Structure 1
Amino acid sequence: MKKMQEAVTKEREQHPAFYAKYPMRLITEAEEKDVRNVTSTWDLPEEYVYFLKRYVPERVSWSAVEYISIYIYGAKDLEAGQSGYSYNHVTDEVITDWPSDYLVIASDEGDPYCIDLSRGDTVIFTAQHGTGLWDFSIAYHNLSEFLNSVLHPRELEDEESPETIPSDYYKLQITGTGADKAKTLMFIKKMFSCDYTQAKAYLEKTPLIVYKGIEQGVAKIEEQLERIGADFEKHKISWEEFIELVQS
């Protein structure tokens, strides 16, 4: 937690004007009612409860080589973080293809990071969203390892040179139905883990941002959009614009 606090402080010091406009804080004492709410809703591992009591993010997301922009939920927003995964907040219905024991504790641009509550430990599982099927695999063997990855990405630990670290950011946005409206709607449905009605509502409010992040991640989404004939635009954005999109 101390290292995470130091990282947030350093980030604010490096970009004072931006964070004066978009405040970011990491508080280390959660409200008792928030902790009580999550512990009464789920049977959580003791290590994870300890973390939730001491991690209260306010507009804090983590950008690193391992991640595009990962948001780790605190006790206050843990329940809301399940939306789009285990339940649909629009229809207030359970999503049946989601593993019932998986609790989303963080999300990186839609890719969930979860603990399996049936295990009683903090092994972290992840899967890529938008593929139509949740194919989970172990990402980290415990919570500490996962949190450490946010601060010390594996690539950096492998002595990757600074020149190879990506610094260009992009956004992709759908601007119209394209050649095949049904395929575009299906893409939106998978990308946002929503139902057809919500996907249609999203499409009616174009431009719809479907990706924001580093260059390595944009190519795959761009290829999918080209394959279905969707109308879309790709724009290079600054780091400040990227952070603003993440926190909006």
Structure 2
Amino acid sequence: MVLNIPLDLRELLDRSVLCSPAAAYIPFSLANIADIESYQLGYRIDGLAGEDLTGWEEGEWLPSWLVIGQWDGDPYFVDMTEGEADYPIYTSVHGEGSWEAEEFGCTFVEWIRTLECLLV
């Protein structure tokens, strides 16, 4: 799988804020650039067949969405086209039969900064 991740987003993913021992107390997982592809399985890519699951129809996983974290199977993702807006974070409930992006309420940049403050 080839992911065309914008350079600024790659740099954010490479910050690896969850390397601190305090990260064990955070109830979600956050991807870093080294494991970003594994976070796409089941959302962008079929984990068994390796087929592309993205599409432009309502309810499909959009090709521009990139999973950056998970909480109990629910993806937290950014739209790679929204770099100028600091990558707002979206989430959606898995197992509903379709994907409906709901804005999480902060940007990836803000989330990283908050995690860095909490883990220092």
Aligned residues: 107
Q: Cα gap change, 1:94/1:42 in structure 2, threshold over 3 Å: closer, same or farther?
A: same
Aligned to 2:107: 142
Q: Cα gap change, 1:61/1:93 in structure 2, threshold over 3 Å: closer, same or farther?
A: farther
Shift of 1:139: 0.6
5+ residue gaps in structure 1?
1-39, 64-68, 153-248
Q: Which runs of 4+ in 1 moved over 2 A?
A: 48-54, 56-63, 144-147, 149-152
- SS state at 1:144 partner: helix
Q: State which structure, 1 or 2, has the greater radius of gyration over its C-alpha atoms.
A: 1
Q: Tell me the percent identity.
A: 26
Shift of 1:41: 3.0
Greater share of residues in helix? 1
Aligned to 1:54: 15
- SS state at 1:107 partner: strand
2:67–2:76 CA contact under 8 A, matched in 1: yes
Shift of 1:42: 1.8
Shift of 1:125: 0.8
1:62–1:150 CA contact under 8 A, matched in 2: no
Aligned to 1:43: 5
Equivalent residue letter for 2:73? G
- SS state at 1:79 partner: helix
Aligned to 1:125: 90
> TM-score w.r.t. structure 1 length?
0.38
Shift of 1:62: 4.8
Q: Which has the higher contact order (CA 8 A, sep 6+)?
A: 2
5+ residue gaps in structure 2?
55-59
Shift of 1:99: 1.1
2:12–2:109 CA contact under 8 A, matched in 1: no
> TM-score w.r.t. structure 2 length?
0.72
